[in-house]
């Protein structure tokens, strides 16, 4: 599936309030942070409870959580009126450029 197709389907399955742009943007952002936090919490518990050992069942559960993260990234892109394909393409182009210039390490958006 292409990112833009996924984004269209995300919009079809979005049931959050969209009458106010800031409310919709906030909802998508908070959803993204919440889902990313769920992944972080699961990984924390793998370290704490399983000595960092990850089996296939745990990988599958984390994969499902990644799907939720992707859904909210897509919803956020929709609220910002940007194409998810463009977000992905622009990001990898930026990172490849940094790699070519030897600036992958460091800080700042404009390296």
Rg value, the chain, Cα: 17
Residue 107: pLDDT band by 50, 70, 90 thresholds? confident
Q: Is 78 within 8 Å of 31 (Cβ atoms)?
A: no
Span 3-101: which CATH code?
1.10.287.1080
Question: Which tops the pLDDT comparison, 103 or 22?
Answer: 22
Task: Using pLDDT thresholds of 50, 70 and 90, give the confidence band for residue 22.
Answer: very high
Question: Tokens for 71?
Answer: 């859904």
Q: What is the mean pLDDT of residues 33-61?
A: 95
Any idea of the CA torsion for 75, 88, 30, 22, to the nearest 10 degrees? -60
């Amino acid at each position: 599936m292409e990112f833009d197709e996924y984004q269209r389907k995300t919009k079809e399955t979005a049931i959050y309030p969209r009458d106010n742009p800031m409310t919709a943007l906030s909802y998508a952002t908070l959803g993204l942070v919440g889902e990313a936090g769920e992944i972080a919490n699961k990984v924390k518990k793998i370290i704490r409870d399983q000595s960092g050992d990850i089996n296939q069942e745990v990988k599958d559960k984390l994969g499902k959580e990644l799907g939720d993260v992707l859904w909210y990234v897509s919803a956020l892109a929709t609220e910002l009126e940007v194409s998810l394909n463009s977000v992905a393409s622009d990001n990898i182009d930026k990172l490849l450029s940094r790699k070519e210039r030897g600036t992958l390490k460091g800080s700042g958006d404009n390296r």
